């Protein structure tokens, strides 16, 4: 089957099938990612205009079954410990399903704020792993919950800035090497906080543009292999800086499409590899930013349907490519 | 899933695989139930601890179980133990996670658990730091092995920086410089090592242990070597850009421009030569216009325009970026 178009029906069927693999060992070994996986699946479906392919009530009940009443946060799976990663996914899912009213918002806000460290960075949970990913998650979640005003913005920005490297990119902690995934989270956090002024746009734009390899895919760091997930992270940051034209979007589109499994659906990290919901989500999210025909607009900052973010008055000044009409 | 090739399975093959997996799956699920039940009842026993070992060996991503394991240690195993027993337990956990890391070098939770273990090593006999030193010193060897296996593993590099910053027996930072030299000489493309080198230098300069100007000169030699070895390798060019910085030093800027021009003569189609020359020449005009004069500045900018046009055909994916710079140059000229 030719790989020059998006197999929407196959991908919808693939995402729907994910919950039916309960006799599969891998399904259980990845239980710690279940909440994220639902967010990835739901967002991909929404962008493909098939949001209703998964049962709404069932999904909301699952999310609520992961609520940890002691911590005031969500785990990824019933009985798993609460974490900021699964808490953001839960909030994003409930936002997309218009069911945020189910959440005890003040308690979640308290949980998130309690994770901020004196340096300004956020920990992922009470065990204290720190990462600029968690700063982004905190900023994103507080913003969706309408409680950003409770955040110590200066301290948050200060730590992100301390992770900035001379190449314009960001690492996950102070001293760490720039990495596309961290660039995405840091740029998006700064965008939400209206502090893009601290970014060296020329330098970072250059670094991001140089992520594109001759086969069209983007890598996460210099002299590394291309990957669909990195492609999205780079693209999101470029969209936020209004610099998507700095790379070859046709080649990137072709690369993402070539990583599809045209028979059983799903998108892989690169052509010919095993698909998973994570890369399926980031592949479709990337295609949306590239103006691929027939898709919904994705907000690159929140990584959620753009219409939803706009309706909440949270849209920042990013620029995706205009939506093309099918040839 | 990263880097796993897709295989086409017939429905029969899937069925057969699932049947084969059944016993494993059952074992995994019952072990999970067992551990979770103990966790729920705040069981801090040695049996609970052993059960987490078994489960984590099957699934090291199960962070809830790592959390539980630490709580079993804190609330159970450590409670009635002498410091030397606590030290033994933690040392054993460090060994166990060394094995786990070999199989799963990119699992965040394993690296986190190691940090926790190190941070909880008790003081040695009679208030000495012996146990801490022994454990922390071993970490550097472990992380070096991890970086031998994958020289770009950013978990390992981050962990390395963490160990270097926190180890009770501090090494001189120049030793780290020597380490990055080794890594770079083994592979010029290892940007992680170049990055680390830049961080170590900044620290050495800030503390006054090394003279910045002298270092920069030596570094320019090293990086030139790399640029000549493979002019298409980004790592060296990025590092070079760091060395030049905002180009305040006129002498260095001018001599590096000359050196890259020389390389360009050998490699007339080198994108990185052209790109860097545009960048450095613009710095020259921006910072040193007074020294070079108006006419020369204009000549240099004309050269930049020429190179940018050449880049647009040489490096088509990024032609819009070159156009944006061209637009800015022509606005500046007006
Ligand atoms: Zn990936």
Summarised one tens digit per residue, pLDDT across range A232-264 is: 999 999 999 999 999 999 999 999 999 999 999
B234 near A CB under 8 A: yes
Percentage of chain B modeled with pLDDT above 70: 99
Q: Are the beta carbons of B191 and A248 separated by less than 8 Å? A: no
Classify residue A269 by its DSSP letter.
S
Q: d(Cα A317, Cα B1) in Å, to the nearest integer? A: 33
**Is a pLDDT exceeding 80 seen at residue B79?**
yes
**Is a pLDDT exceeding 80 seen at residue B331?**
no
Q: Residue A212 is nearest to which of B21, B112, B317, comparing CB atoms?
A: B317
Write the CATH number of the domain with boundaries B245-334: 1.25.40
B26 near A CB under 8 A: no
Which run of H or of E encompasses A206?
Answer: helix A201-209
**Is a pLDDT exceeding 80 seen at residue B221?**
yes
Residues 157-176 of chain B whose Cβ lies under 8 A from any Cβ of chain A:
157-158, 161
A25 near B CB under 8 A: yes
Tokens linked to B163: 């160990």
B97 near A CB under 8 A: no
B205 near A CB under 8 A: no
B318 near A CB under 8 A: yes
- Does B127 or B271 have the greater pLDDT score? B271
For chain B, give every domain's residue range: 245-334
Q: What is the pLDDT of residue B333?
A: 63
Confidence at B70, pLDDT banded by 50, 70, 90? very high
Q: Are the beta carbons of B6 and A273 separated by less than 8 Å? A: yes
Percentage of chain A modeled with pLDDT above 70: 100
Is residue A88 within 8 A of residue A137, CB to CB? The reply is: yes
B71 vs chain A: nearest CA distance in angstroms?
Answer: 10
Residues 234-293 of chain A whose Cβ lies under 8 A from any Cβ of chain B:
243, 245-248, 251, 261, 263, 268-269, 272-276
Q: Are the beta carbons of A227 and B2 separated by less than 8 Å? A: yes
Q: What is the pLDDT of residue A327?
A: 64
Q: Please state, as a whole number, how many other Cβ atoms lie within 10 Å of the Cβ of residue B149.
A: 12
- Does A121 or A22 have the greater pLDDT score? A121
Q: Please state, as a whole number, how many other Cβ atoms lie within 10 Å of the Cβ of residue B63.
A: 27
B25 vs chain A: nearest CA distance in angstroms?
Answer: 5
Q: Please state, as a whole number, how many other Cβ atoms lie within 10 Å of the Cβ of residue B65.
A: 26
Contacts of B8 in chain A (CB under 8 A): 263
Nearest to A136 by CA among A242, A33, A69, A233: A233
In B, minimum Cα distance to A32 occurs at: B62
**Is a pLDDT exceeding 90 seen at residue B59?**
yes
A49 vs chain B: nearest CA distance in angstroms?
Answer: 25
Residue B194 to residues A79, A148, B223, B230: CA-CA distances in angstroms? 44, 38, 10, 15
Tokens linked to B63: 């962070």
Q: What is the pLDDT of residue B2?
A: 84
Give me the mean pLDDT over the A179-195 stretch. Answer: 98
Q: What is the pLDDT of residues B231-256, one digit of tens each?
A: 999 999 999 999 999 999 999 999 99
Q: What is the pLDDT of residues B278-330, one digit of tens each?
A: 999 999 999 999 999 999 999 999 999 999 999 999 999 999 999 999 999 98
Which run of H or of E encompasses A67?
Answer: strand A67-68
B32 near A CB under 8 A: yes
Q: d(Cα A302, Cα A21) in Å, to the nearest integer? A: 29
Residue A301, phi then psi, degrees to nearest 5: -80, -45
Q: d(Cα A138, Cα A148) in Å, to the nearest integer? A: 9
Q: Are the beta carbons of A261 and B29 separated by less than 8 Å? A: no
Nearest to B325 by CA among B268, B278, B264: B278
Classify residue B293 by its DSSP letter.
-
Residues 61-80 of chain B whose Cβ lies under 8 A from any Cβ of chain A:
61-64, 67, 70
Contacts of A224 in chain B (CB under 8 A): 152
Q: Please state, as a whole number, how many other Cβ atoms lie within 10 Å of the Cβ of residue B246.
A: 9
Q: Are the beta carbons of B1 and A276 separated by less than 8 Å? A: yes
- Which of the residue ranges A21-30, A242-251, B183-192 would you say has the lowest mean pLDDT? A21-30
**Is a pLDDT exceeding 90 seen at residue B127?**
no
Q: What is the pLDDT of residue B17?
A: 86
Q: Residue A167 is nearest to which of B63, B238, B245, comparing CB atoms?
A: B238
Percentage of chain B modeled with pLDDT above 90: 90
Residue A135 to residues A112, A119, A130, A310: CA-CA distances in angstroms? 10, 11, 9, 22
In B, minimum Cα distance to A245 occurs at: B320
Mean pLDDT of chain B: 94
Give me the mean pLDDT over the B161-179 stretch. Answer: 94
A221 near B CB under 8 A: yes
Contacts of A25 in chain B (CB under 8 A): 21, 24-25, 28
B59 near A CB under 8 A: yes
Q: What is the pLDDT of residue B334?
A: 53
Q: Are the beta carbons of B25 and A25 separated by less than 8 Å? A: yes
């Amino acid at each position: 089957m030719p790989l020059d178009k998006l197999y929407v029906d196959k991908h919808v069927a693939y995402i729907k099938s994910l919950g039916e693999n309960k006799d599969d060992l891998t399904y259980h070994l990845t239980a710690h990612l279940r909440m994220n996986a639902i967010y990835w699946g739901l967002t991909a479906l929404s962008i493909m205009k098939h949001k209703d392919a998964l049962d709404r009530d069932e999904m909301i009940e699952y999310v609520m079954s992961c609520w940890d009443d002691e911590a005031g946060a969500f785990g990824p799976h019933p009985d798993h410990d609460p974490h900021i990663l699964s808490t953001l996914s839960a909030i994003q899912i409930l936002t997309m399903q218009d069911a945020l009213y189910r959440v005890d918002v003040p308690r979640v806000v308290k949980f998130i704020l309690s994770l901020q460290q004196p340096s300004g960075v956020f920990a992922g949970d009470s065990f204290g792993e720190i990462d600029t990913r968690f700063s982004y998650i905190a900023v994103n979640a507080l913003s969706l919950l309408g409680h950003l005003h409770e955040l110590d913005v200066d301290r948050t920005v200060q730590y992100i800035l301390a992770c900035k490297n001379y190449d314009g990119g960001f690492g996950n902690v102070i001293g760490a090497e720039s990495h596309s995934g961290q660039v995405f989270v840091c740029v998006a956090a700064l965008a939400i906080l209206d502090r893009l002024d601290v970014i060296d746009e020329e330098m970072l734009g250059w670094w991001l543009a140089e992520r594109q390899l001759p086969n069209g895919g983007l890598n996460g760091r210099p002299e590394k292999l291309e990957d669909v997930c990195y492609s999205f992270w780079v693209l999101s940051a470029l969209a936020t800086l209004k610099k998507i034209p700095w790379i070859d979007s046709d080649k990137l589109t072709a690369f993402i499409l070539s990583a599809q499994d045209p028979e059983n659906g799903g998108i892989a990290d690169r052509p010919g590899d095993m698909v998973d919901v994570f890369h399926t989500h980031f592949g479709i999210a990337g295609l949306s930013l590239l103006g691929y025909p027939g898709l919904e607009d994705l907000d690159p900052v929140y990584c959620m349907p753009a219409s939803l973010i706009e309706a909440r008055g949270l849209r920042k000044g990013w620029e995706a490519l205009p939506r093309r009409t099918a040839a | 899933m990263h880097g796993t090739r897709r295989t086409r399975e017939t429905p029969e093959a899937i069925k057969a695989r699932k049947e084969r997996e059944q016993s494993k799956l059952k074992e995994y699920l019952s072990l999970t139930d067992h551990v979770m039940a103990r966790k729920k009842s705040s069981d801090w026993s040695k049996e609970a601890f052993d059960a987490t070992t078994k489960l984590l060996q099957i699934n090291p991503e199960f962070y809830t179980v790592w959390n539980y394991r630490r709580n079993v240690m804190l609330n159970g195993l450590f409670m009635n133990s002498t410091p030397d027993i606590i030290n033994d337990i933690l040392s054993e956990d460090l060994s166990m996670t060394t094995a786990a890391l070999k199989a799963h070098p990119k699992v965040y939770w394993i690296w986190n658990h190691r940090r926790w273990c190190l941070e909880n090593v008790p003081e040695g006999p009679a208030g000495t730091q012996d146990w801490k030193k022994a454990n922390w010193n071993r970490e550097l060897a472990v992380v070096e092995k991890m970086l031998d296996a994958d020289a770009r593993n950013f978990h390992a590099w981050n962990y390395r920086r963490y160990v270097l910053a926190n180890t009770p027996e501090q090494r001189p930072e120049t030793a780290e410089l020597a380490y990055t030299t080794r890594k770079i000489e083994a592979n010029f493309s290892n940007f992680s090592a170049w990055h680390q080198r830049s961080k170590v230098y900044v620290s050495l300069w800030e503390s006054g242990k090394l003279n910045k100007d002298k270092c920069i000169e030596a570094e320019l030699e090293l990086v030139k070597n790399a640029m000549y070895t493979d002019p298409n390798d980004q790592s060296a060019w990025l590092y070079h850009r760091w060395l030049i910085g905002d180009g305040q030093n006129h002498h260095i800027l001018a001599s590096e421009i000359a050196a890259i021009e020389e390389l360009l003569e050998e490699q007339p189609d080198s994108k990185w030569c052209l790109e860097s020359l545009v960048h450095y020449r613009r710095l020259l005009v921006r910072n040193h216009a007074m020294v070079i004069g108006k006419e020369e500045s204009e000549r240099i900018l004309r050269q930049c325009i020429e190179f940018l046009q050449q880049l647009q055909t040489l490096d088509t994916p990024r032609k819009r970026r070159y156009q944006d710079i061209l637009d800015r140059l022509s606005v500046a000229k007006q």
